A and B are shown apart, each in its own frame.
Chain A
Amino acid sequence: MRVLRRIGGRLLASLPALLGVVVFTFLLMRVLPGDPAVFFSSGPNAGQAEIDAVRKDLGLDRPIPEQLLRYLYDVGTGNLGRSLTTGQTVVHDLGERLPASLELTLCALVLALGLALPLGILAAVRPGSAIDHAVRMVCTLGVCVPTFVSGLLLVYVFYVQFGIAPDPTGRLDIFAASPPDITGFLLIDFALVGDWEGWQAAAAQLVLPALTMALFVLAPLARMTRASMLSVLGSDFIRTARSIGLSRWRVVAVYGLRNAILPVLTIIGIVFSTMLGANVLVEKVFSWPGIGSYALDALLASDYAPVQGFVLLMAAVFVMVNLLIDVLYGIADPRVSVA
């Protein structure tokens, strides 16, 4: 019950932020250069009457405050408008592409955590050792390489040189059969229908882009794990646990890690936000059909609605992730939710 109230409170608290994002994107898109009415009437030599008709159709002839109110009403009722380039509603387009982006980002996050936690713990258990220095090196280099460069280098090494990675275009090979559309997450869909060959193909396409993103966020995660693990391992209860003869593994993995994980959880929120931004670049490098590349195409075609929808969706995803982290925080440390 208390957890539910807590979640409700957090959701309410995030409403002003979401509203702010809506208004901000609206204003941003209104000052965009280029007149979409001209852009989307039949051609460059369209008559003034035709342009006016399109403008009226899009509601662009009304005063800005009225447009904003209409937009807020539409967002509230789940209508994000229609993309002028694809001809579909933005909700439909985003819904179709969101699983691709989420699958990529979540896999990258899991991969990053899977690499960063052991590395950070190893570095903290033996501070000043060769492992510690190696981890620091990897982290320092990791933040310096832009995602689009590391992605291209990975493609060069694993696809061009060794030929072990598949063609870096999209989520599935063009000739492979796609699974029935159940959740939109290819890995889950393939697993549900029991097509393990397809599952492997999809996973193979996913490895390089996910690794690219994971390398980019490895540094903050590993650094935070190391720092927080170091301070926990120096505390009294760890000394007690050691002195009563608990195994080294148990001391580090159970008593140490559970207490050290809190700061790491906190920065996962920031890390996730960075990854959402980096999505655009990684999706472009790997021709990944996600929402990032969709928004980018719309942006370059001065198509307002998809960009607004994209930013709004980003904000919503971001709020949800923070909420999830908050709940996890309570599970990792019961003291937090009591307070």
Chain B
Amino acid sequence: MKVVIWDDIVQAVKTALLELNTTVPPELRQHMLRLLTEEENEISKEMVSEILENYEVAQEKKLPLCQDTGMVMAEVRVGDQLLVEGGTIRSGLDEAIRLAYREGYFRKSIVSDPFWGKNTEDNTPGVYFFDLMAGDSLEISLLVKGGGCDNITALGMLNPGDGPEEVEKYVLNELEKKAARACPPLVVGVGIGGNGAYALYLASHALARPLGQVNADRRYRELEEKWKQDINALGIGPQGVGGKNTCLEVRIESYPCHIASLPVGLVSSCHVFRQKTLKW
């Protein structure tokens, strides 16, 4: 049995949240530098250069990259041979959010009830998914994204006879209508299979991959590349002002599904892609 101290989880998650909201990984900066050379019209170039400048100001002043520091999501994979001492993982995540969002002067955007709630004043709770694994490891994948890109989340219940072409058509149709208001260029997650609820989870889980990590399955890898090109061909561009880059990456996650269904979940992140996985 491996023992992990509750407070160590709190401190690690807190540090990660402070970092995620104020600094960008080199891969994201590389993407934006590439866009700066690829984009041709002066307005999309201006958008990309402001995004790059934003990285500098945020890091220098320790200001959040985006004023919307989101509802924190965490996927927790915990081994059955691991014991957390001092509290539950859930309470540790809440505590980490509480500490990070206060210390970082991040916005508190969570209300305690959709209809009758008040602001919880500390950005808790987050949204957590727990998965029990064999072994003694603990993994926490953090995803921070704002309301703007979450609002274009979609679920399509397609027909089981449909192939990759129909699924792509559904994804393109949704993004053509909605991508401009979700702060593109996006990182697009597509979940295919399971049931309706699980397809949305899969789409979100697809965003738990670090930038640049391609699909292990060649067939899906090829689809990811093709869909990325086709989404970019929509011409929506950075911030929707027109241009060659509407998405940075497409990720697909799949799962077995019912013979009567083809659920397709679509979850996107804005260009301020804030993702990190912690391991014990």
Do they bind each other? no
Measuring CB to CB, which residues of chain A are less than 8 angstroms from any residue of chain B? Answer: none
